[in-house]
Amino acid sequence: MNLKKEQLLHEIAATYISGKDIDINVKGSTLQLECFQQLLESSRRLKNLLDEGTDLTSIKLELNTKKNLTKRFQNLTGVTWKL
């Protein structure tokens, strides 16, 4: 994936994570797309937990989930996840 496409992907992801709905078509294998969706959801949940001032245990659990999904996404796509 070229740098412009990666930048666009991250901009779209940031929009979603911030709580706005998005309507896009992303190309990739089923496995890549499922992982991407899970990573977006986890990132959004983590942001919400932090915004709400949720207990540290819940934040750590979600952070661990996001970290694992980030590694998986990067391995599947070769895209370095910045969010």
| For residue 73, pLDDT beyond 90 | yes
How many CA atoms does the CB half-sphere of 74 hold within 13 Å? Answer: 10
The mean per-residue pLDDT over the stretch 13-22 comes to 94
Give residue 26's pLDDT.
87
Q: How confident is the model at residue 42 (pLDDT cuts 50, 70, 90)?
A: very high
Contact in structure between 40 and 16 (CB atoms under 8 Å) = yes
**pLDDT: is 1 or 3 the higher one?**
3
Q: What is the Cα–Cα distance from 78 to 83, expressed in whole angstroms? A: 15
Give residue 20's pLDDT.
94
- Going from N- to C-terminal start, the domains of the chain cover 3-18+30-77
Give residue 24's pLDDT.
87
